[in-house]
Amino acid sequence: MLRRPARLSAALAFAVPALVVGFGLSALAAASPQPSAQAGAAQSPGTAPNTQGAAALPGDPTKGQTLYNQTCTSCHGAALEGGIGPPLNPIKNLGNTKNPLDPTYLEDVITNGLNGVGGYGSMPPKGGNSKLADQDVKDLAAFVIQQNKSAPGGHLSPQDLARSTVTWVTLGILGMLFVTWILARYNMRWIARRVAARRAAEARSRV
């Protein structure tokens, strides 16, 4: 009699996360652009690369990436995810500018550093690398801007980010349901023991 609710809880513990994953992946598949559409967009003569965005960069992002790896990873992370210093992709607004991706703002921060802004400590001028030239600063700013525009959110596509979210939410639901199932089984066993003990006590009292 008491085993059927436990079996039902076990079934729900696995069925609910499976349904969540199924619906989530179905929605992602429906929202993802089809390969043929992507290819058509890439080959369409009316669709040109974002040359205006590239021209607007203050420097060379490729050189900036090399400089970043040499100078900035210890504080801002290898993937611009942040650490001792604030994250740079997606870039965090420290409250001292309206647009943290403004080239002039980035160049000023890199050149002169910051001290106690946004709850972070001190950033030395040029990240402590006094050998950085003005063009190097522009290249670093260009790299940060390009990464935020071409690979926002830590270098994951929107589809990958959504899949990651669905996965972790499902794992969380599975964990909670598993704990609930364990507690339910323990509670039912405890109730069964109490009922058996009460019946035994009643039987002894009748004797």
- What is the spatial distance between Cα 167 and Cα 62, in angstroms, rounded to a whole number? 33
Q: Are 110 and 140 in contact (CB under 8 A)?
A: yes
- What is the spatial distance between Cα 48 and Cα 11, in angstroms, rounded to a whole number? 53
Average pLDDT, the chain: 77
pLDDT tens-digit profile of 81-90? 999 999 999 9
Confidence (pLDDT) at 79: 92
**131 DSSP assignment:** T
Question: Residue ranges per domain, the chain?
Answer: 52-155, 156-190
Domain spanning 52-155, CATH class: mainly alpha
Q: Is the pLDDT of residue 182 over 80?
A: yes
Cα–chain-centroid distance for residue 53? Answer: 26
Share of the chain above pLDDT 70, in %: 67
Q: What is the DSSP string of 41-109?
A: HHH-TT----HHHHHHSSS-HHHHHHHHHHHTHHHH-TTS--SSSPPBTTBPP-SS-S-TT-HHHHHHH
Count CB-CB contacts under 10 A for residue 47. 9
Residue 193: band (very low, low, confident or very high) from pLDDT cuts 50, 70, 90: confident
Confidence (pLDDT) at 194: 83
Q: Is the pLDDT of residue 206 over 60?
A: yes
**32 DSSP assignment:** S
Mean of the pLDDT values across residues 51-74?
85
